[in-house]
Structure 1
């Protein structure tokens, strides 16, 4: 990672992390993957908001660690999980920053799900 650029969020590329007030439910059909009142909402620049759920509130038995990784210069290296029960749609459908950069350190130990692969509900 020594050669990778590290960027700090600023006015040109803001990142905010706030507590998500409603309960966040992640499912696919009858498969209940996660439910939490402790999600964090990360908003980065002009991207849609992303819900990050604490690992303790995700049914980790439904996930399988994959070898896939990606790098974000603002957040660090992302590791991925597959949801085998979803077949092809579940491939690398979950990501986590296990050791995120300091600016986004609050998301350490949290998981995020691709909303085009699972249903993410906000229950008020």
Structure 2
């Protein structure tokens, strides 16, 4: 486990406003309680509370990965009315303490959904 620091900063802050994730004309997630995680030089990633997602469109994937700063990630496929996007969603279900705030949240690959709308 690596700790965020000056060489690899990670910040987490509430996202001010609405986040809506769309696939095939359906909002698979919509919230005003998203978190924005900024890691090192990567673009910010929005994490949506699991409670604000339509989980009937999610299917757990066999895929997993490990981040030395955040922990083990699980992946989910999305399916809406015949449109399937493998591995479109990830979640750190038991994140390392430095990023504990993202527990219970989901993140979406922008190129695997139709839109991640913010307002």
TM range (shorter): over 0.9
1:45-87: CA deviation from partner (whole Å, max 9, x where unpaired): 0001000000000000000011110000000000010013332
SS in 2 for 1:56: helix
Cα distance in 2 between the residues matched to 1:28 and 1:98: 23
Partner of 1:13: 8
Cα distance in 2 between the residues matched to 1:60 and 1:115: 18
Partner of 1:121: 117
Alignment gaps of 5+ in structure 1: 1-5
How far apart are 1:29 and its partner, in Å? 3.5
For 1:56, which of 48, 51, 54 is the aligned residue?
Answer: 51
- Give the TM-score taking structure 1 as reference length: 0.91
For 1:40, which of 35, 39, 52 is the aligned residue?
Answer: 35
Cα distance in 1 between the residues matched to 2:94 and 2:112: 25
- Give the TM-score taking structure 2 as reference length: 0.94
How many pairs align? 116
Cα distance in 1 between the residues matched to 2:77 and 2:32: 23
Runs of 4+ in 1 over 2 A off after TM superposition: 84-87
Alignment gaps of 5+ in structure 2: none
RMSD, matched Cα: 0.8
